[in-house]
Homo-oligomer: A and B are copies of this chain.
Amino acid sequence: MDSPPASPAPVPEAIERARTFARPALEQSVGRLHPDLARVCGYYFGWCDAEGTPTHGRGSRSLQACMVMLAAEASGEDPHVALPGAVAVELLHNFTLLHDDIIDGDTIRRGRPAAWVTFGTGTSLLAADALWAAAFSALIEVPGTAGRATASALNTSMGVIINAVAGEAVFDRTPAAEVDVDAYLAICETKGGELLGTAATVGTLLAGGPAAQARSLREAARHAGAAWQATNDLENIWGNAALVGKPGFQDLRQRKHTLPVIAALQSGHPAARALRGLLEKEELDEADLTRAADLIEESGGRAFTEQIAQGRLARALGTLADMRLPDPAHRNLADLLDFTVTRRPRTPSGKK
């Protein structure tokens, strides 16, 4: 869910603050790993190049850590009570990215070669495993009941995400015309929003905040996650490759059943038939991919997906507004949810 670390694109103040907030503890956790694994992780976090030389960049955006921090602040606490949670969630987020790239065979992440391409499958797989252990080690020693409760919530989340990844693979081998759009959206919500939602739970629990706040923030985060997945699907076809940190048309090339494709193929529009024929070709060249994008647009797949993305972001922000949190807590959380989807800071008036 992060963009290339080299990108100088501006981010909301809270996200910049979260990066500074979490990084020393994150570096400490990663620094305790075997040096070969620490290098893979440092590369993924955008702290160093493939040889381990520091890049002096700001590293990846810590959206998950930001949610933990803001949820703690929304509970009226100093965010430092939630630092172990911010570290755990950020480590687990990178665990999922490392394994996902292996599972999907994605070769580019955050604008650089994926870790398995650079370091090999075995080392990358193992580095991710090490992040999981490090994540739970950060949480499980937190005194009182919060350590166990947050570790349990995160562990449950990981199980839910893993099942969703398996579910997505089933969709990819189901004929697109038979894919249930709502079931697909549920997977989008989990893949894009489950961890962010649990980050809200973790931050609230560590700060001793109210259960109702945790529930609402979690719901808002899951809506934003679904909106981001839809946006990601759009960007992969019509967007800026730099925004998603992956080459254009990658999903189409891999015949992934993304939302625009499913919507197009199920539209009943005459262009859908041409699209189906095109996607059955053995090899898709650039001209085919451009033609496929046009057919998806013509049959309404793009508009449908844009509507989902906008609708889910609106629901995320609406759920947040219903919480009636005071500023700056409300404003920061709105900035984060919006940025999670659009990857652009809102203007001061909240308009783009």
Give the interface of A toward B (CB within 8 A).
33-34, 36-37, 99, 102-105, 121-123, 125-126, 129-130, 132-134, 136-137, 140-141, 147-148, 151-152, 155-156, 158-159, 162-163, 165-167, 169-170
Complex: A170 Cα to B37 Cα, angstroms: 11
Complex: A132 Cα to B133 Cα, angstroms: 10
Q: Is the CB of B159 within 8 A of A137?
A: yes
Known: A148-B148, A166-B34, A166-B36. A137 touches B122 (CB 8 A): no
Known: A129-B162, A133-B155. A169 touches B122 (CB 8 A): yes
Complex: A165 Cα to B34 Cα, angstroms: 9
Complex: A118 Cα to B304 Cα, angstroms: 38
6 examples of A-B residue contacts, CB within 8 angstroms = A99-B125, A103-B122, A104-B122, A122-B169, A130-B163, A132-B158
Tell me which of B99, B123, B167 contacts A129 (CB under 8 A).
Answer: B99
**A33 contacts across to B, CB distance below 8 A:** 162-163, 166
A85 to chain B, nearest CB (A): 16
**A37 contacts across to B, CB distance below 8 A:** 162-163, 166
Q: Is the CB of B130 within 8 A of A102?
A: no
Q: Tell me the nearest residue of chain B to A33, going by C-beta.
A: B163
Q: Is the CB of A36 within 8 A of B170?
A: yes
Q: Is the CB of A121 within 8 A of B121?
A: yes
Complex: A123 Cα to B163 Cα, angstroms: 11
Q: Is the CB of B151 within 8 A of A125?
A: no
Q: Which 10 A-B pairs have the closest CB atoms?
A: A103-B122, A34-B166, A133-B159, A34-B163, A133-B158, A140-B152, A136-B155, A130-B162, A148-B148, A36-B166
Complex: A105 Cα to B122 Cα, angstroms: 9
Tell me which of B123, B140, B163, B167 contacts A155 (CB under 8 A).
Answer: B140
Tell me which of B125, B141, B152 contacts A102 (CB under 8 A).
Answer: B125
Q: Tell me the nearest residue of chain B to A40, going by C-beta.
A: B166
15 other A-B residue contacts (CB within 8 Å) besides A33-B166, A130-B159, A133-B158: A34-B163, A36-B166, A36-B169, A37-B162, A37-B166, A103-B121, A121-B121, A126-B162, A130-B163, A133-B162, A136-B136, A137-B152, A137-B159, A140-B152, A141-B152
Q: Tell me the nearest residue of chain B to A96, going by C-beta.
A: B129
